[in-house]
Structures are given as C-alpha cells and as structure tokens.
Amino acid sequence: MITKQNVLELDNNDPIGFARDRFYIPPGKVYLDGNSLGLMSHDTHARVAEVTNRQWGKDAITSWNKHNWIGLPQRVGEKIAPLVGAAPGQVICCDSISVNLFKTLAASLTLVQTEQPQKNQVLSTPDNFPTDLYMVQGLQQLLGQQRCELVLEKEQQLADAVTDTTAVVLVTEVNFRTGRRLDVETLIAKAHAAGAMVIVDLAHSAGVLPVDLDAWQADFAVGCTYKYLNGGPGAPAFIYAAERHHAKLQQPLVGWMGHANPFEFTPNYSPAPGISQFLGGTPPVLSMSAVDAALDAFKDVNLGQLRFKSMQLSELFHDLVVQFELTSELTLIAPEDRNQRGSQLSYESEHAYGICQALIERDVVADFRSPNYLRVGFAPLYNSFHDVYLAVQALADVIESKAHLSERWQQRNAVT
C-alpha cells in the first residue's frame, strides 16, 4: 500500500528536486504533458524578454554581431551535444525534425549509394511517428523507387529485417504512442554489419534518457527541443551527423547560411565545413534564444539522475493505477519493465479521449493519441512524486464518477 506519506518522502529525498524551482509550474495544475510541450523555465522567460527588449528593441540589426545571433545554431548545438553523447562539432540547431529528416535521409542515401548503388531501401516501422514516414514517401516520389523505397517492419523485428538492399534504417528510439524504448545500439551494429546507415529520431529521448550517439556509432540523428528540452512551442530542432561522414557529405537543401562564406554572396554554392553545412536559411533568433536559455535548466543535473527519477515516476504512477483498481478501464500498453520504457506511460481505453478531457477539467494535463490511447509523460526536471499521486487520485475520481462518459467529449478538439 503506497501512502501519501511515502510519496512526500520520495520528494524530500529527490536529489534533483531543486530543478523544479527553475520552471513556471502552471498554478494549481499537475502537468504530465512534457513529452509534448515542455514547460517554460524562468531563464527562458527572462531571455526572451532580453532578446526582444534590449537586443532586437535597442540594438536591432547590430545584434547579429553584438549578441552573436549568427552563431546561435552552432552554440545551441554544442549545448545539446553532451545530452546526446556527441563530441563537439557534430550537432547543430536548425529547422524542424521533419526538414532535418529530409536532409539526413537524402545525405545518408547518397553516401551509401556512392559505394553500393544496389541499396535502395529505407527500413522503418509502421508505427513510427508519421512525419518520419511521410518524409521517406516524399523522397521516394522525388528520387524514384530505384533510389528510395520505404519498407516497414514491426519494431521488435527491425534489427533482423536489415538485408543486402537496406540502405538506411530510420528508427525512433522511444515510440510516441506506446512509450516502448528500442535497443538502438544493437540495431546500429546490425545495420553497419550489412553496410547500411542509421538515422535515430530522438524526439522522446533527448533530455530525459542517457543517449550515447558517439559510442553507439550512430550515423545521423534528429531531435526536437520543445519536448523534454523545454525550448517552447515550435522551437527549432537539431541534427547530429557523425564526424566521420562530414568530408563526403551532401545534403540537398543547400542554403546561404550553410555556405562557406554567406556574406560573399557568390552565385555558386560551396558548403561550410563540418556540421554547419546542414544550415539552410536564417535562424529563428527568438525561439533559438529560448532554447539556448532553456538548456541551462540541466545545470547540475546528470542524465543518470534524470533517467532514474523518470523510471521511479512512471513506476509510481502505474503502481497507483493498480492500487486504485483502475486497470479494468485502463490497459497498460507500455512495456511492464521500466527499463524498456521511455519517460511516458500509455493506456488503452475505449474512453481514452473522455478520460483525458475529464482529467484536464480536474487540472491534470495529459494527452490523447488516436485511436484510443491516454498518454502521461513524466518530465523529471520539474515533475514531483506528489504530482503523480494527485494525477492518479484525479484519474480514480474520473472513473468512479463516470465523468469520462459525458456527452461533452463526443466532439474532439483540433489538437488532442
């Protein structure tokens, strides 16, 4: 039997509990949606004010030099690098995951096909995040099936599905619906043994799991900054490209910011050396400054501590769901073993949408994913064990009172 006292003790003994004070916690709310949009830190709020009031407001265009706006993509990339196990010079902040997937897919296909022209397949999973699959489909249309053919295989069979014709494996480490975490390191080893490259999508990993791109020998990776990195709505994403590929790299979205000398304004493209060649257009200075400041919330917190707390939070949540006898309404579809999960739990229920809305009405913010999943995300930087306790109490109240069956939840909002 888990008591409220036990839960409060967990908070008292939490070695990274201090980090919660770095954030604006929406008053009176339990926020379990950091896997969709991370909360705003005090530093981020102050930085956006500084950038608008002083930098843009007073220094205007001189800020490109004076406040080094021009160096933001590299600077923010270097701040993300230690969170994903990358040595310097391999991570840059730019664009969205979608656009970065297009660039890394095209770059990796070209690299592989230069040596092995018979390889044309991009191997991924049917339940990958849709944008990942759409990007391959778009490239397939552009390049033709001889150069790019999407092949889908169930996620647990992915490593065994690599064949002679596999050029690239596109894998998301943590499934956005189920929360299952894949063994990416083993997958990379198998892909490399067959002469294929691997692009890892870290959308649900960066900032919450220890990621070791260099040690895994990943080829490319992408990730976003608005989930566990708390960069703000629509904040720019990042790209990792292993240094061993830099010299031969070719990506198709060549823009002036990725040119060796953008301010020479020459008509012919010549790529900047290293990771900077992934840049296209002008960086979004306001949002990228927000990401820069948001990353300071990781100061004095290590990824091992974050991972451990994240596993404790999800385990506590599910143990309480069992204790409150809610499992007849909610079926856990995330793996039972906490080591095989990312930092979220997903439950299947016929009434998942109504449950989610009734929870939000009780100031507990979770989200819903089609067709019938309730997702609860745990952001160990700012979620407390008490948050989890309050959330499961509210969930029990919803189900006991049948609030989730209300007519009002028949119509779905545009964003679920």
Ligand X SMILES: *Cc1c(COP(=O)(O)O)cnc(C)c1O
Interface ranges with ligand X (CB under 6 A): 96-98, 129, 131-132, 172, 176, 201, 203-204, 224, 237
Phi/psi at 76 (nearest 5 deg)?
Answer: -70, -40
Letter string b/e over residues 117-132, b meaning 16 or more CB atoms within 10 A of that residue's CB: eebbbbbbbebbbeeb
Phi/psi at 183 (nearest 5 deg)?
Answer: -85, 90
DSSP 40: P
129 is annotated as contributing to ligand binding: yes
**Is 292 annotated as catalytic?**
no
130 is annotated as contributing to ligand binding: yes
291 versus 395: smaller Cβ distance to ligand X: 291
Least distance (Å) from ligand X to the CB of residue 369? Answer: 10
**Is 11 annotated as catalytic?**
no
Least distance (Å) from ligand X to the CB of residue 253? Answer: 14
Least distance (Å) from ligand X to the CB of residue 132? Answer: 6
Task: Report the alpha-carbon distance of residue 292 to residue 46 in Å, rounded.
Answer: 12
**Is 375 annotated as catalytic?**
yes
97 is annotated as contributing to ligand binding: yes
Least distance (Å) from ligand X to the CB of residue 151? Answer: 18
237 versus 316: smaller Cβ distance to ligand X: 237
- How far from chain centre, in Å, is Cα 99? 14
Least distance (Å) from ligand X to the CB of residue 337? Answer: 21
33 versus 132: smaller Cβ distance to ligand X: 132
Q: Which amino acid is at 394?
A: A
61 is annotated as contributing to ligand binding: no
Joined tokens for residue 173: 């480490």
226 is annotated as contributing to ligand binding: yes
Cβ of 329: how many Cβ atoms within 10 Å? 18
Cβ of 74: how many Cβ atoms within 10 Å? 22
110 versus 131: smaller Cβ distance to ligand X: 131
Joined tokens for residue 344: 């979220």
**Is 201 annotated as catalytic?**
yes
Q: Say if strands 220-223 and 30-31 run parallel, antiparallel, or are unpaired.
A: unpaired
Active-site hit among 23, 31, 102, 129: 129
36 versus 349: smaller Cβ distance to ligand X: 36
210 is annotated as contributing to ligand binding: no
Active-site hit among 226, 238, 347, 368: 226
DSSP string, 230-293: ---TT---EEEE-GGGGGG---S---GGGBSSGGG--SS--BPSGGGGG--S---HHHHHHHHH
- Residue ranges for the binding site? 97-98, 129-132, 172, 201, 204, 226, 256, 282
Question: Catalytic site residues?
Answer: 129, 201, 226-227, 375
- Residue ranges for the binding site for pyridoxal 5'-phosphate? 97-98, 129-132, 172, 201, 204, 226, 256, 282
